[in-house]
Amino acid sequence: MHNDLAEVLFTEEEIAGRVGEMGRAITRDYACTADEGGIVLVSVLRGAAIFMADLARRIELPVEMDYLAVSSYGNGAKSSGVVRILKDLTSEIEGRHVIVAEDILDSGLTLTYLLKNLSSRHPASLEVATLLRKKTPAQAKIDCKYLGFECPDDFIVGYGLDYAERYRNLPCIGILKPEIYQ
Ligand code: PRP
Ligand code: MN
Ligand code: MG
């Protein structure tokens, strides 16, 4: 699988270090919620599942984990521009402190749609933790409180991120060789 990468952007160790820092920041910022049941981490399936699983274990507060399935990309390399909810949350989030965990913020379409949808359920607070954010002008519009790394505007795979459902199980994050998807 590593042979399909043009470049490794973040190693397994670098990711673990950054996720640990994000978890500590969240623990600090949400310490006062410990008596009100802590936080609800919402993972956007399927890409963010690995990131959220690691992040949750770096937060030293009560954490509830819930999952939403949304898809905008399908099996293609480009966003279709259409966001669909394939599976909704199991829990009610009204009055809860919610953090949406995303693996990557690309066009921002998925998160823009989700934040609007989730805020209509009246959570006590709603923030975003994204591991990666592509360096494109579109991103400026989305306010994400917790950001892991900025990454180039290439096709990124690994640590949950796929191309046609492959490479999610790569422990590192890298740039897919263009000849693989062209
Ligand atoms: C990818 C990625 C983000 C989204 C980001 O998900 O995991 O959720 O696209 O793109 P955007 O900012 O342009 O909306 P995808 O739709 O590929 O589904 P997946 O998580 O199941 O791979
Ligand atoms: Mn996704
Ligand atoms: Mg995908």
Give the pLDDT mean for 75-96.
Answer: 81
Average pLDDT over residues 48-65: 98
Does residue 85 lie in a domain region? yes
Closest protein CA for atom 2 of ligand 1: 104
pLDDT for the residue 78: 57
Q: Please report, rounded to a whole number, the percentage of residues in the chain having pLDDT higher than 70.
A: 93
Give residue ranges with CB within 6 A of ligand 1: 44-47, 71-73, 79, 102-110, 162
**Is 180 part of any domain?**
no
Residue 3 lies in a domain: no
CA of 10 to the centre of ligand 1 (A): 19
What is the residue with the minimal CA distance to atom 21 of ligand 1? 46
Q: Does 154 qualify as catalytic in the annotation? A: no
Q: Is the pLDDT of residue 6 over 90?
A: yes
Instruction: Indicate whether this model's pTM tops 0.90.
Output: yes
Banded model confidence at residue 57, pLDDT cuts 50, 70, 90: very high
Distance CA 58, CA 147 (A): 15
For residue 69, the ligand 1 atom closest to its alpha carbon is: 21
Distance 158 CA to ligand 2 centre (A): 12
Position 26 in a domain: yes
Q: Is residue 156 part of a domain?
A: no
Q: pLDDT averaged over the chain?
A: 92
Q: Quick one: which ligand is closest to 103's CA?
A: 1
66 in a structural domain? yes
Please name the amino acid found at residue 27: T
What's the 82 CA to ligand 3 centre distance in angstroms? Answer: 13
Beta strands in 72-152 (DSSP E): 84-87, 97-105, 125-134, 146-151
Which CATH number do you get for residue 25? 3.40.50.2020
Element (H, E) at 38: none
Which of 173-176's residues contact partners 24+ apart within 8 Å by CB, and which partners?
Answer: 173/8, 173/9, 173/10, 173/15, 173/132, 174/2, 174/5, 174/6, 174/7, 174/8, 174/9, 174/10, 175/5, 175/6, 175/7, 175/9, 176/4, 176/5, 176/6
Report if residue 5 sits inside a domain: no
Domain count, the chain: 1
- Per cent of the chain over pLDDT 90 is 79
Rounded CA-CA distance 41/39 in Å is 6
* Residue 140 maps to a domain: yes
pLDDT of residue 97: 98
Q: Is the ipTM of this complex over 0.90?
A: yes
Centroid of ligand 3 to alpha carbon of 31 (angstroms): 33
Selecting among 54, 103, 106, 162, the annotated active-site residue is 106
What is the domain range of residue 90?
15-151
Closest CA to 149 of 125, 174, 170, 131: 131
